């Protein structure tokens, strides 16, 4: 089955809980690393961001995310698994729009691999964001 890296709306507590539950069966891992990207209520020219609306090139997201996972698992030999979830649609300030979860045999590889995964996502994942202000005007980032 084709894995879906995109979820509509914010990354839910249920997704995070399921990953935490799964950790228990990965007994070959000594370190798990979460990165949770949150929508920030930035203030720009006196206007406050209330939400971000994400859009994505879905077919390309799949190919790019698969490639990122492959890169990480070959570059960090101790990394055992990489999970990526990115939001599409509206995510309010304070909600989570990106989840990266890396499990590795040891802590250092888990931390480095997680950090590298986030950077590769920022550089390569075909996702765009529209910041929506409290007065419903918007800017593209």
In the complex, the smallest distance separating the C-beta of residue 6 from another protein, rounded to whole angstroms, is: 10
Rg (CA), the chain: 16
Please report whether residue 3 would count as binding another protein according to CB under 8 A: no
CA distance 99 to 7: 11
Token pair for residue 38?
């949150």
Cβ-count burial of 30 within 10 angstroms (0-12 exposed, 13-18 middle, 19+ buried)? middle
Please report whether residue 102 would count as binding another protein according to CB under 8 A: no
**Residues sharing a CB contact under 8 Å with residue 12, sequence separation 6 or more, in sequence order:** none
Please report whether residue 118 would count as binding another protein according to CB under 8 A: yes
Please report whether residue 127 would count as binding another protein according to CB under 8 A: yes
Please give the size of the binding site for another protein, defined by CB under 8 A.
24
Please report whether residue 136 would count as binding another protein according to CB under 8 A: no
Please report whether residue 67 would count as binding another protein according to CB under 8 A: no
In the complex, the smallest distance separating the C-beta of residue 121 from another protein, rounded to whole angstroms, is: 6
Q: What angle do CA 130, 141, 13 make, to 5 degrees?
A: 55
Which residues in 16-45 contact another protein (CB under 8 A)? 37
Q: Name the site residues for another protein (rule: CB under 8 A).
A: 37, 54-57, 59-60, 63, 86, 97-98, 118, 121-130, 140-141
């Amino acid at each position: 089955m084709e894995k879906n890296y995109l979820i509509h709306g914010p990354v839910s507590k249920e997704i995070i809980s399921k990953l935490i539950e799964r950790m228990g069966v990965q007994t070959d891992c000594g370190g798990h690393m979460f990165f949770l990207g949150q929508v920030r209520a930035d203030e720009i020219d006196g206007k406050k961001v209330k939400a971000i609306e994400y859009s994505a090139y879905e077919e390309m997201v799949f190919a790019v995310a698969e490639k990122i996972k492959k890169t990480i698992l070959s570059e960090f030999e101790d990394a055992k698994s990489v999970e990526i979830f990115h939001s599409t649609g509206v995510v309010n300030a304070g909600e989570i729009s990106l989840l990266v979860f890396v499990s590795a045999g040891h802590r250092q590889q888990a931390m480095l691999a997680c950090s590298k995964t986030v950077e590769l996502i920022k550089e390569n994942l075909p996702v765009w964001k529209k910041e929506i202000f409290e007065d419903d005007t918007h800017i593209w980032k």
